[in-house]
Amino acid sequence: MTEHMTNLRVKLPATCIILEVIIIILFGTLVEYDDNTNAKLWHEELANKSNYENEFYFRYPSFQDVHVMIFIGFGFLMTFLQRYGFSSVGFNFLIAAFALQWATLMQGFFHGMHGGKIHIGVESMINADFCTGSVLISFGAVLGKTSPVQLLVMAVFEVTLFAVNEFILLTLLGARDAGGSMTIHTFGAYFGLVVARVLYRPQLEKSKEKNCSVYHSDLFAMIGTIYLWMFWPSFNSAITAQGDDQHRTAMNTYYSLAACTLATYGFSALVSHEGKLDMVHIQNAALAGGVAVGTAGEMMLTPFGSMIVGFLAGTISTLGFKYLSPILEDKLRIQDTCGVHNLHGMPGVLGAIVGAITAAAATREIYGDGLADVFPDVASDTVTASAQGVRQAISLAVTLGIALLGELLWVSF
């Protein structure tokens, strides 16, 4: 025990300090304010604009909601484990603080370079939080199996590969994924699951009693659930186009989450002994509707379609916790601590499929001039709607492939 504590006392400070020094140097060399943040450049534009047209006033409310989800929602959601409450909240704080800085750089390299500099503003802050969310999803799969140093190293690799995957999907393939069903949830879940498989050790079976909850730990976890549930419409709509696109995304998410919650309660009582509700289902599966509507949220999915997606997401997530998680652990030796496969993995794949189908059905008769906002390549006749649907499906396959590759790189390191 003494040797372990001594190693942590040396390795953790060294890792934190070295990584932060590197980031500060890179920020000093490569990062600068964008036009909406730079005093000189913004005031040069004021001749034709009002201060209230600054992007801050449009994006910052959404950023606040997303930021709460990252630091409170994800952190407290994982406190249901009676022996890892401090780890879930504390390590969540550490990883998120590092990942959002590293994500700003990695995403900037691929999306925000202007004259050799990375331009940052409130939208880059939102995107960095999105990337951080993917890392925290992976953290949920390996909670209790890794040290904070290992988690920071995992974040270095995952953030980098997240930015690569995001660039391939959104820029090279031209896919649409406003709420991140593919880029955030599917990628984070399957990256974490494969890491959990690699970290499997037979002796972990002896610590199963640590993976259960008690009354007060479930109450704390419900804090995370409620925060995530309330702010998920902001999460999915945070970077969509102004106007109807953002309005529609928030509304689709709103109804998907509501339908998902009813499905979760219904199926939880159905599959549980004596018809009792399982708090693990309520804490997690009730959120799956937000994940599943992420890709198609900005599309003309309709409230009716959103409810169907949410209901399906709640169903597969609840059944996954009940029947699939034990199979993954017993047969595939994947100990998914927080059930991220059920909350993020399967609903993320469902969201990608829904997005592909909805994209393939897009027509100018349905979208009108708004087609250019949602599917610019279809609106410009660069591709057909069916080809856009194929792009979406290919993007799902690419995401799964890169998530597996990322695990191999992490393990090799």
What's the whole-number average pLDDT of the chain? 91
- The answer to whether 309 and 289 have CB atoms below 8 angstroms apart is yes
Residue 283 lies in a domain: yes
Whole-number Å distance between alpha carbons of 90 and 320: 28
> In terms of DSSP bridges, do strands 31-33 and 117-120 run parallel, antiparallel, or are they unpaired?
parallel
Residue 34 lies in a domain: no
- pLDDT reading at 2 higher than 50: no
Look up residue 409 and give its two tokens.
């790189």
CATH of the domain at 85: 1.10.3430.10
Question: Which of 36-50, 91-105, 171-185, 224-238 is predicted least confidently?
Answer: 36-50
Residues 6 or more apart whose Cβ sits within 8 Å of residue 329: 335, 336
Q: How confident is the model at residue 114 (pLDDT cuts 50, 70, 90)?
A: confident
Q: Which of 179, 189, 137 is nearest to 292 (CA)?
A: 179
| Domain count within the chain | 1
Residue type for 307, please? M
Whole-number Å distance between alpha carbons of 214 and 281: 15
Residue 277 lies in a domain: yes
Q: How confident is the model at residue 408 (pLDDT cuts 50, 70, 90)?
A: low
pLDDT, tens digit (0-9, with 9 covering 90-100), for 83-110: 666 788 899 999 999 999 999 999 999 9
Domain with 181, as residue range(s), is 62-201+211-412
Q: What is the CA radius of gyration of the chain?
A: 21
Whole-number Å distance between alpha carbons of 320 and 285: 9
Whole-number Å distance between alpha carbons of 156 and 117: 21
pLDDT, tens digit (0-9, with 9 covering 90-100), for 315-327: 999 999 999 999 9
pLDDT of residue 86: 75
pTM of the model: 0.93
Residue 274 lies in a domain: yes
Whole-number Å distance between alpha carbons of 186 and 168: 15
pLDDT of residue 260: 98
Give residue 114's region: left, alpha or beta (phi > 0; psi -120 to 50): beta
Residue 43 lies in a domain: no
Residue 52 lies in a domain: no
Whole-number Å distance between alpha carbons of 251 and 257: 10
- Give the residues across from 33 on adjacent strands: 120
Residue 160 lies in a domain: yes
Whole-number Å distance between alpha carbons of 57 and 41: 17
Query: Rounded to the nearest 10 degrees, what angle do helices 385-412 and 346-360 cross at?
Result: 150
Question: Which of 47-56, 108-117, 209-218, 247-256 is predicted least confidently?
Answer: 209-218
Residue 45 lies in a domain: no
